Every structure is written in C-alpha cells, then in structure tokens.
C-alpha cells in the first residue's frame, strides 16, 4: 500500500460499528470516517452528520476528502443507487449497483433469478393485485408465506397457518405497504433451521464468510414478535463445513454467475438467508449487504484484512481468495430499549464498563451522546459481543458483560448461544 487508506463507512448501526472496528485493525487503514456514525464509532472514526440516504452529500464528502474506499452498510442507499453515484465520480465503493441491489429490493426479481439459475428455493407464485393473490391464497388451503415485492423494513412478510390467515395477510400487508402492493408473492412454507451465509463477491468470484445464526424473535426460545435481530452466533453450529461448501457451490456461486450473465454483476455482500430443510439448504431471501446482527458475530473472528478484502472485491480481484477465520466462536447479544419492538422511550442514560476483557467488544446501534452522556436513541441499542474457544465460553463472556452494562429497563434475550437454543446437527 503506498499511503494509508482513508475509508468512509456509511451507516450508524452496530453492523457499521463492527465494520469500522475491523477496518481500524488493518495496518493499511489510516483514517476512518462514518456517515453519520454513532458515539461508539466516534472512538475510532470521524463521524460526519450526513444521512445515509443523502446520496449527493455522501458523494461530495467522499470526493472532498479523497476517500480511497466507501463501504455502504444499509440497504436503503444501495437501493437508491449510491454505488452508481460514487463510481460515476471515480470513487471506489464496496456494494452493489442499484440494478444488482434488486436481489433485495425486489423479491420477485430475486425469485426469477433463482429459478433461472436452478438455485434451491421455496416454490412461489407471483400476483399483481391483492384480489388475485387473496383468491389464490384461499385456494391453497393452508400454510403459505405471503411476501410483498419491495423493501418493507422486514415487515413485508407473513407466515400464515390457515387459508383465512393467508388471505387476511395479503390485505394487511398491502394496506401497510401500499407502494409494494402491485406485486405479491405466495410462497411454499419451508420447515427447518434458519442460517445466514454471507459471501463477498467481486462480480465474478465469491468468498463465503462463516455461517451465522440470527435470532429474530424478541423472546427466549424464539417467542414473541419479530425484531431487527436480538443476537447472533458465529459459526452457526447448524451448518457443518461441508454444508457451507454446499451452500457456496449450489447457491452463492450460481447466483453470482447468473447476476453477471444477466448484465447486473454483483459486487458487495450477497447475503443468503437460508432454511436448512430435509432436502438441503434453500434460499428464503437474498440481501445485498452485510447482515445485522450477523456481522457483529462474524467480523470479530475474521483474520483476513477487511480493507484488503473489500478493495479486492471492488477491483475484481477475488479469484482464488479465501477468507480466513479464527477457529473459535462469537456470540453477540442485543440490548434493546424497554418496549421494543413496540413503541419505546429514548434518552435513557447508559453507563458502559470501562474495563472490558480483551475478548469483549460492545458495538453501538441506537445510542447518542447528550451533553457528554451516552443515552439510548433507538430500539436496538447495543450489541454486546464476545469471542471464546467454543460458543459456551463466548456466551458466558457476552452475558457477563451485559450484566455490567447500566441501562435501566432495557431487555435482552438470555438464550443467545445457549446449548438448548443452538443445538442441532445438520448434515448436507
Ligand atoms: P424474508 O424477509 O423473506 O427473509 O422473510 C422473513 C422471515 O420470514 C424469514 O426469516 C423466515 O423466518 C420467514 N420466511 C420467509 N420465507 C419463508 C418460507 N418460504 N418458509 C418459511 N418461513 C419463511
Ligand atoms: N439479520 C437480518 C438482516 O440483516 O436482514
């Protein structure tokens, strides 16, 4: 490297904090900026008050500071074409173009791509009006998954048990997301354990990261409503190394090849949300970015230099590359505001322990700094993360750190990484 790299991380969640934290460990990285960042990121990055969807503002900033690399965290700016705008001005940006980001921003487009590439996924029918979809759902007579086409912040999917529930779900989802009501998917309901596999792609080649398990439900034992994710474990004990290899060969490689063949080569993180069914892994969804909270549990185990890896992807140089990981485990526990995922207060003062062991890191999500005091500012507030030689060691360390965080009335799951929750063998 000729000069220390200057990198801009776009986003303000625990995922972006984890990305900035990992980049800061690279000997090649000099300065890190975060737009807009958060108080946790401010310890390692210069935070600039530019919103993630202010594409012009981000391009202007990156140009003005001559950033060598822009890493985009969330899906919203990717779907708005932030990478197209950055690369038009000659900047190097890690993330897919607006066209390739459709793997996430259009579920019907992603489904058609999977069918063309022969990628295992749930059977699906696509409808262009709620009435047609509701009539079909009635005829399907039971278990069906209803999905709307566009981005809906995780609220565009309903898993129905009965025909009546499915029909109601069609109308409710369409009412809540009128902008996406023109394309409705009815999908076969798959059974199994869910795992996320993220691949870094340079448009042609793909490197798989460790499989990770998100915990979407708010309550212990996977109970209660869905959330943005209450914790993650990596590597997921449900997917063996042979299983990961199968996902790489049957899902990630064919998807990257089909994206390129269709004229929308994908550079960035191709995230496969999988159901490990009896017949093997099947895709529930693709996302076009790092997963949250999976990234908080994956990056602490990554041994490969993250800046080198992301730059290699941007320059189409991932041929023969592999991501190296420590042979240990990581558990990340999300501490949330009282009431989350329903309405919650903000502004609760938080005190973090100043003497954390080296295996523990607390990534900030919804925090802010008010007159020098750290306060809560969102639903998911902290991702308390620990590594260990096995999941159990990591789990104990993470929960010991949670018990030392002073965050009145917060709640968090007590079973992230516990044997009962994570046990289960998967053989491909
Ligand atoms: P998606 O946004 O498509 O990943 O869906 C959100 C959640 O709905 C997933 O994490 C699954 O828990 C569930 N889900 C989606 N599709 C299916 C399916 N075909 N079968 C069973 N569950 C599903
Ligand atoms: N962990 C779910 C997501 O990132 O979409």
Q: Which atom of ligand 1 is nearest to the CA of 191?
A: 21
Confidence band (pLDDT; 50, 70, 90) for 279? Answer: very high
Q: pLDDT, tens digit, for every residue of 343-365?
A: 999 999 999 999 999 999 999 99
Confidence band (pLDDT; 50, 70, 90) for 426? Answer: very low
Alpha carbon of 264 to ligand 1 centroid (Å): 25
Q: pLDDT, tens digit, for every residue of 170-181?
A: 999 998 888 887
Is ligand 1 within 6 A of the CB of residue 219?
no
Report pLDDT for 138. Answer: 85
Please list, in sequence order, all residues whose beta carbon lies within 8 angstroms of the beta carbon of residue 272, skipping any fewer than 6 positions away: 196, 197, 198, 199, 247, 251, 252, 255, 283, 286
Confidence band (pLDDT; 50, 70, 90) for 420? Answer: low
Q: pLDDT, tens digit, for every residue of 91-123?
A: 999 999 999 999 999 999 999 999 999 999 999
Q: Which amino acid residue places its CA nearest to atom 7 of ligand 1?
A: 157
Q: Identify the H or E element spanning 198.
A: strand 193-202
* pTM of full prediction above 0.85: yes
Q: Which amino acid residue places its CA nearest to atom 3 of ligand 2?
A: 291
Q: Which amino acid residue places its CA nearest to atom 15 of ligand 1?
A: 284
Q: Which amino acid residue places its CA nearest to atom 19 of ligand 1?
A: 189
Is ligand 1 within 6 A of the CB of residue 168?
no
Report pLDDT for 421. Answer: 65
Coil, strand or helix at 116? helix
Alpha carbon of 66 to ligand 1 centroid (Å): 41
Confidence band (pLDDT; 50, 70, 90) for 422? Answer: low
* Residue predicted with more confidence, 159 or 62: 62
Based on the number of CB atoms within 10 Å of its own CB, is 273 exposed (0-12), middle (13-18) or buried (19 or more)? Answer: middle
Alpha carbon of 153 to ligand 2 centroid (Å): 10
Say yes or no to pLDDT of 428 above 50. Answer: no
Query: Which string of DSSP letters, residue by residue, matches 177-191?
Result: -GGGTT-EEEEPPP-
């Amino acid at each position: 490297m000729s000069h220390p790299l200057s990198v801009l991380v776009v986003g303000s969640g625990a995922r972006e904090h984890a990305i900035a934290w990992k980049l800061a460990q690279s000997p090649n990285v000099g300065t890190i900026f975060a737009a807009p960042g958060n108080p946790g990121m401010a310890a390692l990055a210069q935070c600039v008050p530019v919103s993630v969807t202010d594409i012009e503002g981000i391009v202007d900033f990156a140009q003005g500071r001559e950033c060598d690399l822009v890493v985009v965290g969330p899906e919203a700016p990717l779907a708005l074409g932030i990478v197209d705008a950055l690369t038009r001005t000659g900047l190097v940006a890690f993330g897919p173009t607006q066209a390739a980001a459709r793997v996430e921003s259009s579920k019907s487009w992603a489904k058609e791509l999977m069918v063309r590439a022969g990628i295992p996924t749930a059977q699906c029918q696509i409808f262009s009006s709620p009435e047609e979809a509701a009539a079909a759902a009635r005829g399907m007579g039971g278990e069906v998954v209803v999905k709307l086409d566009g981005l809906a912040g995780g609220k565009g999917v309903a898993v129905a048990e009965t025909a009546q529930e499915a029909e109601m779900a069609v109308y409710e989802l369409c009412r809540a997301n009128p902008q996406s009501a023109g394309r409705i998917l009815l999908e076969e309901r798959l059974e199994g354990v869910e795992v996320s596999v993220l691949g870094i792609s340079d448009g042609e080649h793909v490197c798989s990261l460790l499989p990770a398990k998100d915990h979407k439900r708010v309550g212990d034992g996977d109970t209660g409503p869905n959330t943005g994710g209450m914790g993650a474990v990596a590597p997921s004990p449900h997917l063996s190394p042979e299983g990961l290899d199968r996902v790489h060969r049957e899902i990630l490689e064919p998807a990257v090849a089909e994206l390129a063949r269709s004229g929308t080569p994908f550079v960035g993180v191709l995230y496969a949300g999988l159901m490990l069914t009896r017949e093997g892994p099947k895709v529930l969804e693709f996302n076009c970015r790092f997963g949250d909270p999976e990234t908080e549990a994956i990056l602490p185990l990554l041994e490969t230099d993250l800046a080198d890896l992301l730059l290699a992807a941007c320059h189409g140089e991932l041929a023969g590359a592999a991501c190296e990981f420590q042979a240990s485990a990581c558990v990340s526990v999300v501490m949330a505001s009282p009431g989350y995922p329903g309405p919650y207060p903000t502004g609760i003062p938080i005190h973090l322990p100043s003497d954390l062991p080296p295996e523990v890191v607390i990534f900030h999500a919804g925090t802010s700094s008010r007159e020098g005091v750290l306060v809560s500012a969102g639903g998911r507030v902290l991702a308390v993360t620990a590594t260990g030689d096995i999941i159990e060691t990591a789990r104990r360390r993470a929960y010991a750190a949670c018990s030392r965080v002073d965050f009145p009335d917060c709640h968090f799951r007590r079973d992230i990484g516990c044997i009962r929750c994570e046990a289960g063998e998967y053989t491909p």
